Amino acid sequence: MTDSIAFIREKVQGATPSIGLILGSGFNEFPDSNFEETLTVPYRDIPGFPQSTVPSHKGNLVLGRMGDNPVICMQGRLHKYEGYSMKEVISTVRVMAELGIKILIVTNASGAINTNFDAGDLMLITDHVNFMGDNPLIGPVEEGCLRYPDMTQAYDQELISKAEVAAESKGIKIRKGVYVANPGPSFETPAEIRAYASMGIDAVGMSTVPEVILARSYGIRVLGISLISNKAARLCGQLLTAEEVNETAAAAQGKITGLLTELLKSL
Ligand code: HPA
């Protein structure tokens, strides 16, 4: 990790990134055309950086600027279901934290449990439930991290409000809700979806929670944005496939770009 940090520091040439952006399923196309002064480095070229194995995740680190903000962007994330340990999943966020980011924007695709939500909606995450059966902070306390971070305000209210304003100014309908992280890679059973619904959960996915826990242990403010790519298991009336997630994501690119561009300008 020290190697990764030194390598990236040299690439940014003293411009400390203030915002970290993790582009999950559905969001990977974002930075190609939207950042200024972009430098794209494949994860494989960064010493000590883990590789993304999910085909729709590009596996690039994008260093760029949006308005006044230097941004460090992961085009593709790591998941526990790829076989990575929790420590490996969050290692890239640790790099961002050590580089000095103050805000982390995490994005993902999820299945809707809330029956009012439709495929293609964007949801701001207001809270989460960790069903991964693991926690990235287990083990020795790392320097700069809290042992017992408070999770009452895991998702920053001011950032949620800014995202709502950004969405409204672009005419994008926005949802808000609670996200549950399942380890995956199997989708959920109908019984699991019934259980989650009874717990007041709105959407389900296979990521994000580890990164948010680590960010909060560093005191980094977090915003979570989820693309509702499908209705969850028992609610969709058909079998779920990863292709469906990708197709909805492709159709939602305009909204995603509109929201992220407007939001990043306002931070
Ligand atoms: N379940 C879990 N993860 C997901 C889903 C889903 O329905 N859709 C996209 N990611």
User: What's the residue count for the chain?
Assistant: 267
Nearest atom, ligand 1, residue 188 CA? 1
Provide residues with CB under 6 Å of ligand 1.
109-111, 182, 187-188, 204-206, 229-230, 232, 240, 245
Helix H or strand E encompassing 83:
none
Q: Report the domain count for the chain.
A: 1
> Which two three-digit tokens encode residue 52?
């993304």
Minimal CA–CA distance to 210: which of 114, 92, 61?
92
Range of the domain at 245: 2-266
Which residue shows structure tokens 């996915």? Answer: 205
Q: Which segments of 43-102 are extended strands (E)?
A: 60-66, 69-75
3, 95, 215 from 6: Cα distances, Å: 5, 10, 20
Rounded to 10 degrees, the C-alpha dihedral 76/78/79/83 comes to: 130
Q: What is the pLDDT of residue 33?
A: 74
DSSP per-residue codes, 243-257: HHHHHHHHHTHHHHH
Determine the Cα–Cα distance for residues 230 and 227; give it in Å rounded to an integer.
9
Residue 101, amino acid: I
Residue 2 CA to ligand 1 center (angstroms) comes to 34
Token pair, residue 81, equals 């279901």
Which regions of the chain does DSSP assign to beta strands (E)? Answer: 19-23, 36-42, 60-66, 69-75, 103-112, 122-130, 174-181, 203-205, 221-231
pLDDT at residue 236 in the model: 67
What pTM was computed for the model?
0.94
CA distances in angstroms from 232 to 51, 101, 111, 125, 241, listed in the order given: 28, 34, 5, 17, 11
Q: What is the CATH number of the domain that holds 18?
A: 3.40.50.1580
Task: Tell how far the Cα of 242 is from the centroid of ligand 1, in angstroms.
Answer: 8
Identify whether the C-beta of residue 19 lies closer than 8 Å to the C-beta of residue 264: yes
Which of 227, 245, 248 should be mutated for ligand 1, with most atoms under 8 A from CB? 245
Taking 50 as the pLDDT cut, the residues of the chain under it are none
